Structure 1
């Protein structure tokens, strides 16, 4: 029941906020304001419902150190995408056609902030965290990563391969980031940095969706296995390899810090949440 109550509260904020952001399309400042408000309200709602249903402090969204953690995550997300897009460009799959729209870039800050925060609260803050308590870290990483990929199967231009790619490079990697740090701020920053770099800076599709024009007008071409095709760079083999590599690094850190919950002990893990690293 606590899972359903938590999901219901945060999903409601995500849906209402998403409708508001969509309705404000074309107005950069209003979209930015509504996207930011959705992100803030989602975090507040998550903290409120988790405190009520689990009777504990929500250290995973504690404000202390939040800015630094988000910043670290954003740097990782930007860096990861830069490596992926650079690899795609090296094989002739990406080129810059010209300048995009500064207003569109501002719009995308709001859009991506709302999406990154609500998705991380739902998939890592609620689903991964609660499932991990029952079946252990590795099983939870696999199950919630698979679910994250399946949800993206309904996106425009999606395919079975693109969903598998999302499950590995995002679903698994972001869950591993949470497992290693025990704070949601790092995966939130990473998620935002990755998405914003795609559309807001380099002008490519995000998970199959053609977002408003960002800072640059990018053109993707060539074999889909290299460029990701119409789905965007997330369906590129380079993105999958980068995400898998970061997953390994994060899980190594989680194991080194003693944050991996073994499956045989998961049932006795209770609702305890360790302090962020």
Structure 2
């Protein structure tokens, strides 16, 4: 099955280009090199703007963090797709923002609200009041826009997509999910369980969202809405990062239910809800016949 594959190595490419430029491993390494190189430059420039100094206000600091998250990922991806893969960036087309992007946002709002609703029903989530003065914009910029776009480009746009083109859907799902879970292992309050939960909730779920829609905007919308609802609205730590939300809340009960200091993402409720959505998306993919076989299998069958 090649209908879901965005890039296929040109048949006229010499052997050295197939291995050193167009192979899955080479493209991932090239992107990683650009990510670190551009990131080094951005890290040097941002402090010059005064956004990271002691006199910087929370909004300026948030703009600084968002720039560090966004610029290396976006610029590296543009170079990768336009100049190495030599194709249009269909998965980030602005025309799909009103459709896939908005659908992702709505889906993220509904999914995380359902998780909080279940925690409330199980007696774990409690609201003691509201904080109308909460400074919500920094969290939206960092945890919503910055993390949503930056992490989705890296994990779904590069790692999952390129691995799927080379190794097939199943291997891409497993490897990208483990990578995403492992990337959160050093967050405050993180445990092996919380990393496994993140691997399922975001690693598998968002990879399947991308597989089914072939739109990064759908992933970005869901990721951003999940983080914003969790921290800015419901006042729950986002992947271990404590947030001040509009609702002043606490969680009680065993860690497996409440998620503990890491937040609701480490709760079996969040993992179970995300797993159910992932299964539904997988059923859609299987019925469509869109599961991508490894490149070597496609070549042997002439697909």
Tell whether the structures are fold-level matches, with TM greater than 0.5: yes
1:148 maps to what in 2?
A: 180
Cα 1:76–1:123 change in 2 (3 A) is same
Offset at residue 97 of structure 1 (A): 2.3
In the TM superposition, residue 47 of structure 1 has moved relative to its aligned partner by 2.0
Tell me the distance in 2 between the aligned counterparts of 1:22 and 1:98: 33
Cα RMSD after superposing both structures: 2.7
Partner of residue 165, structure 2? 133
Who is 2:20 aligned against?
A: none
Q: Is the 8 A contact 1:136 1:265 kept in 2?
A: no
2:133 pairs with 1:108? no
Q: Which residue, out of 74, 83, 97, partners 1:52?
A: 83
1:206-251 deviations in Å (ceiling 9; x for gaps): 111113x122222122111111111100010011111111111222
Give deviations 1:153-182, integer Å, cap 9, x for gaps.
111111111111111111000000000001
Once residues 109 and 205 of structure 1 are traced to their aligned partners in structure 2, the CA distance between those partners, rounded to angstroms, is 14
**Structure 2 contact 106–222 (Cα < 8 Å) conserved:** yes
Tell whether the 8 Å contact from 1:51 to 1:57 is kept in structure 2 after alignment. yes
Quick check: 1:207–1:232 contact (8 Å CA) kept in 2?
Answer: yes
Q: Indicate the SS of the match to 1:154.
A: coil
In the alignment, what sits opposite 2:223? 191
Aligned residue pairs total 267
Tell whether 2:105 aligns with 1:74.
yes
Structure 2 vs 1, CA of residues 200 and 206 (structure 1 numbering), >3 Å: closer, same or farther?
A: same
Does the residue aligned with 2:99 lie in a helix, a strand or coil?
Answer: helix
Which string of whole-angstrom CA distances, capped at 9 and with x for unpartnered residues, describes residues 79-102 of structure 1? 111111111111111111222364
Structure-2 residue corresponding to 1:274? none
The corresponding residue for 2:11 is: none
**Moved beyond 6 Å, runs of 4+:** 19-22
Quickly say closer, same or farther: Cα 1:159–1:185, change in 2 above 3 A.
same
Question: 2:31 maps to which residue?
Answer: 6
What TM-score do you get using the length of structure 2 for normalisation? 0.79
* Unaligned segments of structure 2, at least 5 residues: 1-25
Which residues of structure 1 form unaligned runs of 5+?
Answer: 270-277
**Worse-superposed segment, 50-59 or 113-122:** 50-59
Deviates more, 1:29-38 or 1:175-184: 29-38
The structural deviation recorded for 1:27 is 3.1
* TM-score with structure 1 setting the length: 0.86
Change (3 A) 1:11 1:239: farther
2:57 equivalent in structure 1: 27
Comparing 155-164 with 256-265, which one deviates more in the overlay?
Answer: 256-265
Candidates 124, 130, 138, aligned match of 2:156: 124
